[in-house]
Amino acid sequence: MTTVGFLGLGRMGAPMASNLVGHVDRLLVHDISPDAVAALVGKGAEAAGSAASLGGQCDIVFMSLPTPAIVRDAAPEILSGGRLRILCDLSTSGPKLAQEVHELCTGKGVASFDAPVSGGIRGAEQGTLAIMCGGPEALWPELEPLLARIGKPFYMGETPGAGQVTKLANNLLSLAAIATTAEAMTLAIKAGLDPARVIEVVNAGTGANSATRDKWPRAVLPRTFDFGFSAQLSLKDTRLALAEAQAMGVPLPTGQRLAALLDRTLAAYGDDADFTAMAKIVESDAGLDPERPE
């Protein structure tokens, strides 16, 4: 019998863990929020009580945590449990930390996978996340069916951090789509065009992208700016990409501009700002009122 653990039941972790309920022999969960744990227990999971208890009772443990620092603190605690065979990090914590976790796991005789996800809260809830995985190929057949309950897993190779680099590249493209769409739509609005109609046309043409297909209809056109991913986490991910690029000698001028735009977004709208609020900064620079009604 395989016992699976899940650490981190936040906005992404809770729905991912929920999608495992009923599809594993036992699912143990832990989070700093008792309410989050109680919600999963109500769906059929078991409360582990601590990160160390996860490592002591589970064969495989997934982590979904908000920052690299929290991942770095949590991994040794999980590994102290003594039973664990596979530790899989679903967080976006960067390739450098993936290497650190790999070395830490190797010293304990545990296999590590870095498997960051893309698709947002809706993807987590619907089990449609793209999952980018790096880790030992020999154990991939054991891990893949579990990940397939969370989304669509892609194996990127054995190199620690392979999944993380893939995710950072994906995030740069996603953020660039938001920034460029904001500029294009601001141009259209200043010309007096109907923004909803412009989005409809773009989505029928060659300019269509993830921002025009999803983020504008859901969060920008209605002026709610609540797509579900924070500008703060986006900035964290962008800085991880910039640090990795610098280490590899890869210039990322667009990444630097995205980081600056996110910095301005957070300065203007606070730490809770959604990443779609980047559009309001672009609009404001063009003399539009970003707080105008729908």
Q: Share the mean pLDDT of the chain.
A: 96
DSSP 89: E
58-101 pLDDT tens trace: 999 999 999 999 999 999 999 998 899 999 999 999 999 999 99
Residue 149 burial (C-beta neighbours within 10 Å; 0-12, 13-18, 19+): middle
The predicted structure's pLDDT at residue 82 = 85
Residue closest to 290 by CA, chosen among 272, 261, 268, 266: 268
Query: What integer is the mean pLDDT of 15-32?
Result: 96
Query: What integer is the mean pLDDT of 119-133?
Result: 95
Whether the pTM exceeds 0.75: the reply is yes
Residue with tokens 């996603």: 174
What domains can be seen in the chain, in order of their start residue? 3-159 (3.40.50.720), 165-285 (1.10.1040.10)
Angle between helices 162-190 and 231-248 (to 10 degrees): 120
Given the residues 167, 215, 236, 280, the one annotated as active site: 167
Q: Are 6 and 28 in contact (CB under 8 A)?
A: yes
229-247 pLDDT tens trace: 999 999 999 999 999 999 9
The predicted structure's pLDDT at residue 86 = 98
The predicted structure's pLDDT at residue 51 = 96
Active site residue 280: no
Residue with tokens 């003399």: 287
Query: What integer is the mean pLDDT of 150-167?
Result: 97
